[in-house]
Amino acid sequence: MSFQFIDRIAVEDEGEGPVVVCVHGLGGSSNTYTPLMPALARHRVVRIDLPGSGRSQRAEGPLTIERYVATVLSVCERLGIQRAHWVGHSMGTIVCQHIAAAHPKCVASLALFGPLIAPPDAARTAMKARADKARGGAAGMHEITQALLQGAISADTRQRLPVAVAFVRESLMRQEGEAYARSCEALAGAQPAAVENIEAAVLLVTGDEDGVAPPQAVRAMADRLHRAASKRVVVLPKCGHWTPVERPDECQRELREFLAAQARS
């Protein structure tokens, strides 16, 4: 396993086999995917902390989805990766969709957890307000975290899985306020990819209590994937937005079966 910085971007690269590239969401990091690693045992897994997140917080300047796309593709080029299976969570699913639509040769398949095409207008407004709060430093990040622990994970997770709650709490509170604010602005400005052009096989996994990627929106998203080689929608019961962390066993199973099907096709 190697850990390195490529142009100030933290990159973890481990294992051997078909390549899987993991792209986390807002407030996440490469560790969002630690619960899924057992399903990726026979793969080379590349996990990237996006500019402004996790260990890549020193990234300067405005953050946008376009910058994330360019960063991820640049890292892949530096690592000699031409084609990969892509795994995204939340905001990371938007990044993956843009890559799949614009660079189809780079994408063997897409596994998207808590997927959304773009935030609705109300969410964009809320993101900008959250950015202002995040610039208040640690106190602002604490307030944001407390609100998200109530809104972004399910009541069942809060009650039964205190370690999952602790993980989400730490993932959010570890973010530096100004960098997190710019990440919020990136999501607030996210434009949809041309999902109708995506040709790869697509797995869409959400929770029945996911307010960011509600099941009806995910099903509507699947309906727009006209050219996808295959598509599957999975809705996990009593689960919120942090699907890989809240329901790791179910997400591992879905991902393992999905990748095995790609290997057979």
Specify the DSSP element, H or E, that contains 201.
strand 201-207
Positions of the chain with pLDDT under 50? none
Distance CA 116, CA 173 (A): 24
The pLDDT score that the predictor gives to residue 153 is 97
Tell me the whole-structure pTM to 2 decimals.
Answer: 0.97
> If we measure between CA atoms, which residue out of 246, 257, 181 comes closest to residue 209?
246
The pLDDT score that the predictor gives to residue 262 is 95
The pLDDT score that the predictor gives to residue 118 is 97
The pLDDT score that the predictor gives to residue 265 is 77
The pLDDT score that the predictor gives to residue 5 is 95
The pLDDT score that the predictor gives to residue 93 is 98
Across the chain, mean pLDDT equals: 97
The pLDDT score that the predictor gives to residue 1 is 80
The pLDDT score that the predictor gives to residue 57 is 82
The pLDDT score that the predictor gives to residue 105 is 96
Asked if 75 and 51 count as a contact pair (C-beta separation under 8 A), the reply is no
Q: What's the number of CA atoms in the CB half-sphere (13 Å) around residue 100?
A: 34
The pLDDT score that the predictor gives to residue 58 is 83
